[in-house]
Amino acid sequence: MGEFDLIARYFERAQQAPGVTAGVELGIGDDCAVLAPRPGMQWLVSSDMLVEGRHFLSTVDPVRLGHKALAVNLSDLAACAAAPRAFTLALALPRVDEAWLAGFAQGLFALADEHGIALVGGDTTQGPLNLCITVMGEAPAGAALLRSGARVGDDVYVSGTLGDARLALEVFRGKLRLSGDAFEQVRRAMECPQPRVALGQALRGLATSAIDVSDGLLGDFGHILRRSRVGATLDADALPRSAVLDAQPLAFRREMGLAGGDDYELVFTAPVAMRDAVAQAARAVHTPVTRIGVIEAEPGLRLVDGAGAPMDTRYASFDHFKS
């Protein structure tokens, strides 16, 4: 048995947390995991691959990396209103570093246990650092939220705040400085995003469409518009921002919010008649949501400022570490 098989054993041991095996008949240890879908449920599946230097900095705390690797996948389940059930982890590592692995597993399993999702399989191999997670979740048939359901007249909402993760990246790049406390806050947004799993499920039957904001609000919301064959007007100054981002110059804070990326908030649409129900659902899961616009028949996305005046929409979407 090689070193990398021992790593696999490490994850096998670590995953024995109580209460995270709903729908899981058999986890790690055979050629496949065995899942037992309940009658009337659909299963939702998403995969994300994270590469060092592109999706995370080589200096990131492994505890936070373990958290984030799963968080970005849970965010996809959240956007589809699915309850997390099971995930696989494939991991390529340049060398066996026990301290790194212990931290990574700690962050990964802390978030997994919080959301009741079981590690059911995967792979470990030697190679340039690469993390690939596939998540599986459950939703009653027909209850999943998709990008294609937005209707003319719907309100547009976003959860939490936008732009902090990108603000942190700009600090890492040396493009601006923040005080220690402010930096820690936005760095946490970048390294420890909280997937909106409870909100996604709370929006079943209320929202008409949803997507998670990973590449920037404008780009991701654009997917909803295209898939739903509608347009929209958004109020750029209505975007929810942290106090740290609010202290930045107007043009910069607008850009961070509209096109920052790595936010892992949900942008979603819901009929006007559901306003009270949406507000109540959001309160019930302790997740702030903000109304930022309206779905319209005219194709394309129109931005207005706080005074209602049209704005330039040529913000580039966040393309990981490329830009």
Q: Which of 233, 228, 232 is closest to 150 using CA atoms?
A: 228
The mark string for 293-322 relative to its own copies (x by CB under 8 A, - otherwise) is --------------------------xx-x
Report how far residue 21's alpha carbon sits from residue 3's, in angstroms, rounded to the nearest whole number: 28
Q: Minimum Å distance from CB 212 to its own copies?
A: 6
CA atoms within 13 A on the CB side of 248: 26
Q: At 211, list the tokens.
A: 């997507």
CA pseudo-torsion sign 181, 182, 188, 190 = negative
Q: Minimum Å distance from CB 3 to its own copies?
A: 10
Strands 118-126 and 83-93, sheet pairing:
parallel
Under a CB-based contact definition with an 8 Å cutoff, are residues 110 and 67 in contact?
A: yes
Q: Which of 265, 40, 250, 259 is closest to 143 using CA atoms?
A: 40
Query: Residue 246 phi/psi, 5° resolution?
Result: -65, -20
Q: Closest CB to its own copies among 26 and 285?
A: 26
Alpha-carbon radius of gyration of the chain: 20
Q: Minimum Å distance from CB 276 to its own copies?
A: 27
Task: Assess 76 for contact with its own copies (CB under 8 A).
Answer: yes
Task: Assess 54 for contact with its own copies (CB under 8 A).
Answer: yes
Q: Minimum Å distance from CB 237 to its own copies?
A: 27
Q: At 134, list the tokens.
A: 């596939």
Task: Assess 25 for contact with its own copies (CB under 8 A).
Answer: yes
Contacts of its own copies in 129-188 (CB under 8 A):
130, 132, 134, 136-137, 141, 144, 146-148
Q: Closest CB to its own copies among 1 and 243?
A: 1
The mark string for 205-224 relative to its own copies (x by CB under 8 A, - otherwise) is -----xxx------------
Report how far residue 100's alpha carbon sits from residue 58's, in angstroms, rounded to the nearest whole number: 12
Report how far residue 21's alpha carbon sits from residue 41's, in angstroms, rounded to the nearest whole number: 16
Q: Minimum Å distance from CB 307 to its own copies?
A: 32
Q: How far is CA 267 from CA 222, 285, 306, in A?
A: 11, 16, 19
Q: Closest CB to its own copies among 93 and 281?
A: 93
Q: Closest CB to its own copies among 90 and 311?
A: 90
Q: Which residues touch 1 (CB under 8 Å, ≥6 apart)?
A: none
Q: Minimum Å distance from CB 24 to its own copies?
A: 10
Report how far residue 83's alpha carbon sits from residue 74's, in angstroms, rounded to the nearest whole number: 9
Q: Minimum Å distance from CB 68 to its own copies?
A: 15
Contacts of its own copies in 99-128 (CB under 8 A):
120-123, 125-128
Q: Minimum Å distance from CB 227 to its own copies?
A: 7
Strand, helix or coil at 121? strand
Task: Assess 45 for contact with its own copies (CB under 8 A).
Answer: yes
Task: Assess 35 for contact with its own copies (CB under 8 A).
Answer: yes
Under a CB-based contact definition with an 8 Å cutoff, are residues 252 and 148 in contact?
A: no
Task: Assess 49 for contact with its own copies (CB under 8 A).
Answer: yes
Q: What residues line the site for its own copies (CB under 8 A)?
A: 2, 25-26, 29-37, 39, 41-49, 51-55, 76-77, 79-80, 82, 86, 88-92, 120-123, 125-128, 130, 132, 134, 136-137, 141, 144, 146-148, 210-212, 227, 319-320, 322
